[in-house]
Every structure is written in C-alpha cells, then in structure tokens.
Structure 1
Amino acid sequence: MQEVVSEEKFLAELEELARENAPRVFALCSEVGEREDGYAAYWGMAFDDGAEVVSTSGPMRGSFRSAESALGRLSGRRNLHLVWI
C-alpha cells in the first residue's frame, strides 16, 4: 500500500516536476534594415521533442522539430534571429 503524503509535500513535488520539465521560451526576432531595428515576429516554446511557435502579427501557429528548425523554415526572405529568453 502506498503512503499518502501531505498536500503540502505533494504540491512541492509537483512544483519540482514542473520546473524540471518546463519548456524553454524563445523569440524569433526580425531584423529591420541592416541592424537598424528589430521586433519579435514569433514567440515559441521548446520542448524535448519539438517546438511550438505563434506569430505576433496574426493567427499563424506551427509545430517544428526544434527552435532552430523553426528559424530555418520561417526565415524566408527576412533576416530572423533566434533569441533564448
């Protein structure tokens, strides 16, 4: 039979679990001109098995193998930079 732990201890264990498995947050920032200005074009969360990205200018969402693959696929004709938060 499994021991029942206190709610306080259980919540502390859940907090530790969440911290250990938290995704890394990143932005894909668009360069304007030649290093004249920039803005966050996409926000993303990187997990062990992939990355989720949302656009800051519309309803675009995407799933990618990694933050780096999102950068490569979304760069297109603009100069994007991967920035880890």
Structure 2
Amino acid sequence: MRATIERLSATPVVFLHRLPRWVLLAAVFALLAVGMVGTGWVGAAGLLALLALLAWFAYLNWPALDASGRALRIAAMAVLAAFAAGHLFGRF
C-alpha cells in the first residue's frame, strides 16, 4: 500500500516542488486563517483541509522521521482535529 501511495503522490509532489516556495506557504496560511476566523463548517473545512495536507506530508516523510519529529506531527494533527471538531460542535 505504501508503494502505491508514494507512486500516486509523485506527480503532485513534483508539481508542488516546481511552484515558488511562497505559494505553498501562502496556501497553508490561508487555510489556517480560514480555520481560525471562520465559524461553523467553514472554519472546520479550512482546518480539515490543512489537516489532510499535513497528514499526507507526514505519511510520506514518516520513515525518515525520528521519534520527536513523529510526535510533533501527531501533536499538530491532534490540535488541528480538535479545533475542527470545536468549530463543528460550536465550541470555538
């Protein structure tokens, strides 16, 4: 399964690599801003999209990470998921 996901991810990763660095950074900040400022499902959608992007990158980089890198990525994904759930259930 991992080889299949890596093969399918090759084209999008090459595309992202060819973009100027600021484009991906701006997209991440835009999703984070939508997630933090938006309310209800709009904010949750921004955070969940950011969570999906982070999870995809984490999965691709997982074998090369040490324990602290893995823990940091898991913590970041847990925080994003918690904030997204808070938006969906009206806590934030």
TM-score normalised by the shorter chain: which range applies? under 0.3
The structure carrying a bigger strand percent of its residues is 1
1 or 2, which has the higher helix percentage?
Answer: 2
Higher Cα Rg: structure 1 or 2? 1
